[in-house]
Amino acid sequence: MRGSPDSKSPFRPLKRQEQVGLGIRLVRAKYVYPGTYQYQDFHHTQCGASGGQISNYDDATEVQSCELGGLDDLATETQYVRSRLAQYINDLISLGVDGLRLDASKYIPVADIANILSRTTKKLYITQEVIYGASEPITPNQYSGDGDVQEYVPLSSFIRRHMNAVDNGNIAQLQTMPFSGKSPARANHHTERNAGSLNYLSPNNEYVLAYIYALSFPYGTPTILSSYTFANNDVGAPNGDKYRVPCCSDILDIKSELYSILSGYGTCFGTGGVSDASNHIAYGQGALGHVGINVSGWAWTRSFTTSLPSGTYCDIVHGSVSGITCSGPTIVVTNGAFTTTANAFDGFGIHTEAKIK
């Protein structure tokens, strides 16, 4: 069991030499974690021909029994390792943790993950990174029984369809996306750097619009990447690299309130869609909310039919609610209709909790 070399997985022991805390280094012999794991708790005899490293991703046994990037590989088929990992997770639960993202899950057998999770003191929300590889025997759908599975390009039809729609100015097709129990992710720390996904450098506000759509449309449980700006692919967090884990995000903080609000409305939007051009889409559900997205280079003004009660609503894409005031523009609903403008490469969003009068 392991994560990628820069994994933050709770299932991954510290590497033999790894920077932690305030620049303090812990140096250990390989396979030795005093008081926690010893030699017998790792895979170390299964991959003699490859020198212990994964070399053939078409061999599921090798992928799940050999070492990735030199990381010690826990023998998760053993009872001690399973119980020790469950003990760690239960400690996190005692601290208030409600869910886990399992990094590099494809390197851990499905049955092992299921067994470990069965030992926890409460049911957690689980989302798993299982990167798709063409013709590989280990596939993302195999892990759906253990929790949500994060989708990335090229695997995800949702993301691929969304990216193509935005890039080609044809988002009308997104009205027909089906519900899914998956966990679509716009990007992770790998894909945002290798052009495999949208990122904060994507033109025409595409990154923000992608999140607006993902958080307001009922397709799975979206994952938001809280990241930071980077001048090249190897740059670290904006704190001088003194800490292993970034202390903060300098990208999504400015939109955190919008994302927080929308994240509670994923099942509230997604029906009653309209699109009067391939690069415009708007949708809502009953009397709960309404969203519109414009990926064209010109403003989109039109009237919409809605079941929202009459009143004045704060446009949460551009403002926030404080009492009965809105820090941004408002939209007035009268007798089941409203007229508004979505500027070029922009959108709008209103919902019942953003009603100010």
Q: What angle do CA 187, 190, 196 make, to 5 degrees?
A: 60
Q: What is Dmax (Cα atoms) for the chain?
A: 73
DSSP string covering 222-275, please?
Answer: -B-------SSTT---TTTT-SSS-S--SSGGGGHHHHHHHHTTTTT-SEEEE-
Catalytic residues: 103, 129
SS3 assignment, position 94: helix
Neighbours of 94 (CB within 10 A): 9
Instruction: Report how far residue 150's alpha carbon sits from residue 156's, in angstroms, rounded to the nearest whole number.
Output: 9
Neighbours of 66 (CB within 10 A): 24
Cβ distance 354 to 297 under 8 Å?
no
Determine if residue 138 is left, alpha or beta; phi over 0 gives left, psi from -120 to 50 gives alpha, anything else beta.
beta
DSSP string covering 161-179, please?
Answer: HHHHHHHTT-GGGGGGPPP
Instruction: Report how far residue 302's alpha carbon sits from residue 44's, in angstroms, rounded to the nearest whole number.
Output: 65
Cβ distance 86 to 78 under 8 Å?
no
Instruction: Report how far residue 346's alpha carbon sits from residue 206's, in angstroms, rounded to the nearest whole number.
Output: 9
Q: Residue 161's closest CA among 189, 131, 134, 184?
A: 184
Instruction: Report how far residue 9's alpha carbon sits from residue 283's, in angstroms, rounded to the nearest whole number.
Output: 37
Tell me how many helices (H) and strands (E) the chain has. Answer: 6, 18
Strands 280-285 and 311-314: unpaired
- At 345, give phi and psi (nearest 5°): 50, 50
